[in-house]
């Protein structure tokens, strides 16, 4: 079988740079950008007419996005990002004084801050479960199970972690929570397009970004709510839909906002379909594996042994010993961008520092080879 060709031509990324960090902010294909521009032009030609048309267009978009996730559209709402999804979930569940909110040490920093805010406001406690980088599914479930008890209000857990690009056994964790009467909130920020039917693992709340791997316009994310919570779940901004009994429609109105991104988002799903996703995704796994091996070899380090890595991300260890400050990390990324014309991200876990490599349809092996050739002399 022939290997699919890289398609940088479908994006507008600056060809002078290698773009190896799709995972942080995504990148929007040309076709979707063009549609977005048309929609915004239409809005500016007649704002009154545009806003009258928004509800119907949002409904159509939501139905396509829900179908992509293979989830029940009645439990699917649009939110601007995974941070908003997690915040909405935390503002819905009861968090009694003295209860516990459980996270793992892989949790995304801003999600942990959200849990901290709600814990403080409710005089609850944050418990962080240590899950080793190399833990397999059984070890993850055992580590989480060991801390869940009758005081636990919720488990907040990544489906695919950011710093460690690891896939968590959500179906098992959600079932465990359900059996103990504990609410489960799944941070699936990276899951759409990397996992099939990611919202169907039985969590009480699931949120995920369309602006990452599905390459939708930014500020497009979903919140999937289990049936028993749908009436209680409210959007973070109080607007005209406050008393709408339907969950999705309640989230459609967030005051005067730019809804063009949400309306244009399905175009990116059509781009993925044209790219032969998920066959493409499986080839990108092979590509990022190979790219990570090449980079690790050039650095004299190794690729992190994550038991269940995300399809299109890998961690390559940096040779720096000990802890590096966030400021040093930012300065390093800036230097790599300026001097090597390569966009990368760094992540940290315990005292280890990694380059987290991504692969999307615009990448080719040459991108990783170029980084591998140029980075070692700079260190």
Ligand X SMILES: Cc1ncc(COP(=O)(O)O)c(C=O)c1O
Q: Tell me which residues touch ligand X (CB under 6 A).
A: 24, 81-83, 108, 110-111, 158, 161-162, 187, 189-190, 209
Residue with tokens 């833990």: 135
Geometric angle at alpha carbon 188, from 187 and 194, rounded to 5°: 160
- In the complex, least distance from residue 187 CB atom to ligand X, rounded to whole angstroms: 5
- In the complex, least distance from residue 162 CB atom to ligand X, rounded to whole angstroms: 3
- In the complex, least distance from residue 207 CB atom to ligand X, rounded to whole angstroms: 8
Nearest to 379 by CA among 352, 341, 340: 340
Q: Name residue 186's beta-bridge partners.
A: 157, 206
HSE-CB for 167 with a 13 A CA cutoff: 18
- In the complex, least distance from residue 83 CB atom to ligand X, rounded to whole angstroms: 3
- Nearest CB to ligand X, comparing residues 50 and 211: 211
Indicate the DSSP class of residue 3.
P
Tokens of 238: 């109080």
Q: 326: which residues sit within 8 A by CB, 6+ positions away?
A: none
- In the complex, least distance from residue 210 CB atom to ligand X, rounded to whole angstroms: 10
- Nearest CB to ligand X, comparing residues 186 and 296: 186
Tokens of 136: 């397999």
**In angstroms, rounded to a whole number, what is the distance separating the alpha carbons of residues 168 and 157?**
8
- Nearest CB to ligand X, comparing residues 264 and 372: 264
- Nearest CB to ligand X, comparing residues 71 and 209: 209
- Nearest CB to ligand X, comparing residues 100 and 106: 106
- Nearest CB to ligand X, comparing residues 87 and 285: 87
**In angstroms, rounded to a whole number, what is the distance separating the alpha carbons of residues 292 and 115?**
33
- In the complex, least distance from residue 243 CB atom to ligand X, rounded to whole angstroms: 27
């Amino acid at each position: 079988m022939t290997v699919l060709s890289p398609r940088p031509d479908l994006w507008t990324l600056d060809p002078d740079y290698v773009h190896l960090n799709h995972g942080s902010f995504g990148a929007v294909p040309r076709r979707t950008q063009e549609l977005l521009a048309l929609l915004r032009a239409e809005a500016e030609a007649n704002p009154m007419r545009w806003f009258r048309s928004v509800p119907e267009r949002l409904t159509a978009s939501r139905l396509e996005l829900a179908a992509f996730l293979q989830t029940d559209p009645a439990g699917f709402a649009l939110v601007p990002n995974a941070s908003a999804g997690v915040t909405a979930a935390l503002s819905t569940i009861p968090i009694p004084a003295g209860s516990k909110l459980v996270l793992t040490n892989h949790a995304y920093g801003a999600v942990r801050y959200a849990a901290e805010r709600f814990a403080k406001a409710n005089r609850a406690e944050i418990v962080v479960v240590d899950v080793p980088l190399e833990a397999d599914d059984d070890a993850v479930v055992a580590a989480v199970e060991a801390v869940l008890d009758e005081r636990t209000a919720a488990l907040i857990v990544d489906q695919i972690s950011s710093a460690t690009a690891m896939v968590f056994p959500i179906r098992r964790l959600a079932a465990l929570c359900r059996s103990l009467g504990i609410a489960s909130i799944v941070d699936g920020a990276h899951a759409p397009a990397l996992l099939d039917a990611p919202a169907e693992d039985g969590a009480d709340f699931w949120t995920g970004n369309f602006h990452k791997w599905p390459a939708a316009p930014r500020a497009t994310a979903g919140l999937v709510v289990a049936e028993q919570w749908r009436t209680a779940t409210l959007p973070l901004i109080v607007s005209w839909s406050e008393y709408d009994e339907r969950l999705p429609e309640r989230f459609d109105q967030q005051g005067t906002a730019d809804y063009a991104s949400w309306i244009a988002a399905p175009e990116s799903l059509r781009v993925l379909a044209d790219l032969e996703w998920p066959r493409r995704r499986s080839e990108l796994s092979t590509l990022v594996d190979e790219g990570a091996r090449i980079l690790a070899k050039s650095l004299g380090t190794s690729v992190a042994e994550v038991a269940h890595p995300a399809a299109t991300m890998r961690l390559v260890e940096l040779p720096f010993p000990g802890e590096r400050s966030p400021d040093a990390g930012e300065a390093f990324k800036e230097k790599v961008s300026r001097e090597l014309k390569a966009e990368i991200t760094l992540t940290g876990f315990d005292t280890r520092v990694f380059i987290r490599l991504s692969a999307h349809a615009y990448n080719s092996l040459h991108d990783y080879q170029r980084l591998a050739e140029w980075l070692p002399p700079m260190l």
